Amino acid sequence: MQLKKLNLSQVLAVATSSLLAGTSQTVLAVDNNNDWQVDSSVLFYSETDRVSVVEPVVSARKKIGDDEYLKFKLVADALTGASPNGAIKTSSAQTFTTPSGSSTYTTAANTAPLDPSFHDTRGALSAEWEKPLNERLKGVFSANYSQEFDYSSLGLGANFSWDVNQRNTTLTAGVGYSLDQVKPVGGMPTGLTAMPTTTSVSKSKLGDTDDKTIASLLLGVTQVIGPKHLLQLNYTYSNEDGYLTDPYKILSVLDNSGNLRGTNPYLYEKRPTTRTRHALYLKDVKQFGADVLQFSYRYAWDDWGILSHTLDLRYRYELNAKNYLEPHLRYYLQDKADFYYYNLVDGSIPQFASADYRLGDLSTKTIGLKYGYVFAENHEFGIRTELIQQQAEGSAQFPDTDAVLVQLNYSFTF
């Protein structure tokens, strides 16, 4: 579902990656033969008393010609747990209807309301064809498809890299387009209309399905600074158009006394139907002997009013020829959207409104460590553990969210 898809992408993307520029996490010396290079992983993610995720991933890359490659990637993930529905906590118990409208759930007094029906499974398949177009120009053409029970996405992309300045500079340009279909459980509620508090009343709906399109652009340059030093700068642009509202989120409406209004105290959220995003991404990679230091900074902004900063630091420390450690630090800071509201007040309902904490002022801190072991030629095992803390700034409504991420990796050739 759309809610889960957005949450998964935000939570699990603990390392900044550039649009249309995916790269393998493992480097294996297989470029000179026709073996398959396989990278596999299983990720486990768990928030305290909230969402849990299991995500296996398998990708395979094969050389089919001179500097020409095919790559396939298969992803499956399953999400379970509870997620904030957007309502505020109150001094008395609250009852809500589920998205299907066929049942209700109750939240205890002085507790942030969580929807316990939060669950989903997703499968995704992508393919890439990397081909040299001339001596210094390379193209990467991609296609991807993902399916959830209430959301599907089909995308195409093309990325071009041009080596200049005696191959010390690489210019990159890429485009992408995806067509998504939203099929929320219970249909798409009309924005800022009342959520029924009993199963005997039907919600107002826009329909059962709707579409969303995303067009994206990438421009970048990678510069060799020295024999063991690279610097990369990317600019990304994307435009989303269509149904961008989260159909499972609501807002609380208070009366002039600060209490839930007596009639229809909850409204479904409503977001704009377009969103334009921009991002600048700077990455510095430097080798010190056998060790490698990576630092990146991402500055992003959009026309919803959200502005964010992401700092990411990794250091790969080679213990010996077979073992390495890679500590990781990440910090993310975000300003709220223009239409983010903790709650609404009766008589002053805006054109757009959402109480989704992911659109509010928030910060995320991540600390992690990866251990890698090369136990045979072109065979590597790794385990990564991350501790993540997310804080909704300036709001006691949403307490800090603590999460643990563990990922197992195995790479090999055959």
pLDDT tens-digit profile of 99-151? 999 999 999 999 989 998 778 899 999 999 999 999 999 999 999 999 998 99
Specify the higher pLDDT residue, 24 or 283. 283
Q: What pLDDT, on the 0 to 100 scale, is given for residue 23?
A: 35
Q: Are 224 and 169 in contact (CB under 8 A)?
A: yes
The per-residue pLDDT for range 281-322, each reduced to its tens digit, is: 999 999 999 999 999 999 999 999 999 999 999 999 999 999
Confidence of residue 197 (pLDDT cuts 50, 70, 90): confident
> Across-strand partners of 40?
58, 410
Question: Rounded to an integer, what distance in angstroms lies between the CA atom of residue 23 and that of residue 6?
Answer: 22
Residue 4 confidence (pLDDT) above 70 = no
Q: Residue 7 pLDDT more than 80?
A: no
- The token duo for 130 is 């990397």
Compute the C-alpha angle 412/413/414, nearest 5°.
Answer: 130
pLDDT at 8: 37
Backbone angles phi, psi at 76, to 5 degrees: -135, 140
* The pLDDT of residue 167: 94
Task: Answer yes or no: is pLDDT of 32 > 70.
Answer: no
φ/ψ of 275, rounded to 5, equals: -155, 125
Per-residue pLDDT, 35: 87
Q: Are 403 and 11 in contact (CB under 8 A)?
A: yes
224 burial type by CB count under 10 A (0-12 exposed, 13-18 middle, 19+ buried):
middle
DSSP letter for each residue of 364-389: EEEEEEEEEEEEETTEEEEEEEEEEE
Residue 119, pLDDT score = 81
Instruction: Compute the distance between CA of residue 314 and CA of residue 159 in angstroms, rounded to an integer.
Output: 26
Average pLDDT over residues 189-217: 95
330: how many CB neighbours lie within 10 A of its CB?
Answer: 21
pLDDT category at 396 given cuts 50, 70, 90 is low
Task: Indicate left, alpha or beta for 215 from its phi (over 0: left) and psi (-120 to 50: alpha).
Answer: beta
Going from the C-alpha of 303 to that of each of 91, 212, 240, 355, the distances in angstroms are 36, 17, 11, 18
Nearest to 323 by CA among 382, 249, 239: 382
Question: In the predicted model, is pLDDT for residue 279 greater than 80?
Answer: yes
> Domain containing 181: what range?
2-413
Whole-number Å distance between alpha carbons of 61 and 275: 34
Tell the burial category of 72 from Cβ atoms under 10 Å away from its Cβ (0-12, 13-18, 19+): middle
**Contact of 213 with 242, CB cutoff 8 Å:** yes
How many CA atoms are closer than 13 Å to the CA of 217, on its beta-carbon side? 7
Write out pLDDT tens, residues 165-188.
Answer: 999 999 999 999 999 999 999 999
| Cα 310 from Cα 328, distance rounded (Å) | 13
For tokens 């957007």, the residue is: 86
- Between 11 and 194, the more confident residue is 194
pLDDT score, position 49: 85
Q: What is residue 397's predicted lDDT score, i.e. its pLDDT?
A: 62
Please check the confidence at residue 361 and state whether its pLDDT lies above 60: yes
Count of domains observed in the chain: 1
Question: Structure pTM?
Answer: 0.90
What are 231-260's pLDDT values in tens digits? 999 999 999 999 999 999 999 999 999 999
Residue 320, class by beta-carbon neighbours within 10 Å (0-12 exposed, 13-18 middle, 19+ buried)?
Answer: exposed
Asked if 115 and 95 touch (Cβ cutoff 8 Å), the reply is no
| Least confident window among 82-86, 124-128, 280-284, 322-326 | 82-86
Tell me how far apart the alpha carbons of residues 380 and 38 are, in angstroms, rounded to a whole number: 10
Contact in structure between 160 and 174 (CB atoms under 8 Å) = yes
> Which residues neighbour 254 within 8 Å (Cβ) at sequence distance 6 or greater?
260, 261, 343, 344, 345, 346
Confidence of residue 395 (pLDDT cuts 50, 70, 90): low
Looking at residue 394, what is its pLDDT?
58
Give tens-digit pLDDT for 37-68.
Answer: 999 999 999 998 889 999 999 999 999 999 99
User: What mean pLDDT value characterizes the chain?
Assistant: 90
Helices and strands in the chain: count of H runs, count of E runs: 1, 25
Q: Return the CA Rg of the chain.
A: 23
What CATH number did the domain enclosing 236 receive? 2.40.160.40
